[in-house]
Structures are given as C-alpha cells and as structure tokens.
Amino acid sequence: MENETISYVTLRTNTENLSQLLRTCFLKHNISPTTSMVRWKAHGGIGMILNVDGSSIGNLGVSGFGGLIRNSDGEWVHGFAGNIGFSNILHAELLAVYHDLVLAWELNIKDLWCYSDSKTVIKLLSDHRVRLVHTLRERNTCADFLAKIGARNSEAYSRIVFSLDGMSLLLLADASGTP
C-alpha cells in the first residue's frame, strides 16, 4: 500500500464493506428470498423521532448526510442535509447523528428516539455509558482550568495528552479529597 497509513476506522470500514461484498457474491445461492413488510416506526407515539443517514459515493468518495425530525404522527418538524466532501460512510453516518442531536437540542426537544440504518454507528454509540451529573464549580476546578486555557487558545480544538503546568496541585487536591 505504498507505506500509506490509514486509520483504524477506515480499515475497519473497508474490511466490513469487503466482507459484505464477499457474502453477497458467494452466499447468494444459499439464501432463500423472503419478503417482509417494512414501515416507518413511530415508537409507540412517545416523543419525537429522528431519522438519520449518511451517504458515500464509494467508500472514500464524495460523502454527505441528512436527517429529519418528525412527531409521533409522522409529521415533519425539521430536517437537514450536508456535504462533507471526500470521506467514508462511517464518518457520514456519525455526522448525521451529531447534527440531528444538535438540531433537537436547538429546538428544545428532550424526549426523542434516533433511528439509523448503520449498525456500526449504533454499536459505537451504545458502547458508551454516560451519566450527566451536576457539580459545583469548586468540584470542577480541573475542567475550569482547561476551559480558561481553551479561551486563550488560537486553535478551535487541541487535544492535550499530558496534564499542563499548573494542574498538578489541582489533580492532587481532587484525588486526595481536599475540601
């Protein structure tokens, strides 16, 4: 591959796509066709429904995403679509979920169901367990320190691998339970 470096996500996506192609080509004669009725699901009429999808013309090709929010009767509430240029399907699918959740946030929608046809995206997002808990500023000094650094930073986003100068005492105080 000419010493090309590719990310784990790209390698995984390419492997899954090739695997699916091989299954389609070689297992076709063993599969008996079945017909099933498929319809949009309103999830019992509770909450708003977000439907998202990504698209990639080739799996490193021109990619986009789209989605919509409907009420439990299936009526349009809001939607979106976007182009992300040259990317892969997993990236497009994840951006669709992200933008749909941001849109729901902006519309103050709190009770919602998000549907995606990407099992990979659903698994990636389901593997994380997050609990949101309020804390006082005094219990959040390390994050407050980093937020102030961020406000002075010229970059839109900077990943910080090691704790910064000035954080050692804050980390120690948190770890030792200092009031």
Averaged over 133-153, what is the pLDDT? 84
Nearest to 123 by CA among 20, 6, 13, 19: 13
**pLDDT greater than 70 at residue 73:** yes
Q: How far apart are CA 172 and CA 1, in angstroms?
A: 47
pLDDT on residue 66: 92
Percent of the chain whose predicted confidence (pLDDT) is above 90: 16
**Which pLDDT tens digit goes with each residue over 8-62?**
667 777 787 777 777 776 665 555 667 777 667 676 667 888 899 999 888 788 8
CA angle 115, 93, 108 (to 5 degrees): 55
Mean pLDDT for the chain?
82
Mean per-residue pLDDT, 150-168: 83
For residues 46 and 103, the model is more confident at: 103
Question: In angstroms, rounded to a whole number, what is the distance separating the alpha carbons of residues 96 and 102?
Answer: 10
Q: Which of 2-6, 26-30, 95-99, 148-152 has the lowest mean pLDDT?
A: 26-30
- pLDDT at 107 (0 to 100): 92
Ranking 31-40, 93-102, 145-154 by mean pLDDT, the lowest is 31-40
Position with higher pLDDT, 29 vs 83: 83
Q: pTM for the whole thing? A: 0.62
CA dist 165 and 5 (Å) reads: 33
Q: Residue 94 — pLDDT band, cuts 50, 70, 90?
A: very high
The residue among 131 and 144 whose pLDDT is bigger is 144
More confident residue, 171 or 46: 171
Helix (H) or strand (E) holding 70: strand 61-70
Q: What is the number of residues in the chain?
A: 179
Identify the bridge partners of residue 63 per DSSP, sorted by sequence position. 56, 85
Strand partners, 13: none
For 103-116, letters b (16+ CB in 10 Å) and e give: bbeeeebeebebeb
Give buried/exposed letters for 23-60 (b at 16+ CB in 10 A, else e): eeeeeeeeeeeeeeeeeeebeeeeebbbbbbbbbeebb
Cβ neighbours of residue 111 under 8 Å, at least 6 residues apart?
46, 47, 48
**How far apart (Å, rounded) are the C-alpha atoms in residues 61 and 63?**
6
Q: What is the pLDDT of residue 143?
A: 84
Structural domains present in the chain: 47-176 (3.30.420.10)
